[in-house]
Amino acid sequence: MCLNAIVRLVDLDCVVLVEDPTILQLRGVVFNESRCGSTLTANAKMALNPDKHRVYSDSAPTRQAMMACGETSSECSVGAAANLLKDVIYILVRLDEPEEENVFFKSNLQNTYNTIISRSFSNNSCIFLYKVQYKS
* H or E stretch covering 105: strand 102-107
pLDDT at 81: 86
pLDDT at 58: 84
Helix (H, G, I), strand (E, B) or coil at 29: strand
Whether the pTM exceeds 0.85: the reply is no
Per-residue pLDDT reduced to its tens digit, 17-76: 556 677 788 888 887 877 888 888 888 988 999 999 989 888 888 888 888 888 777 888
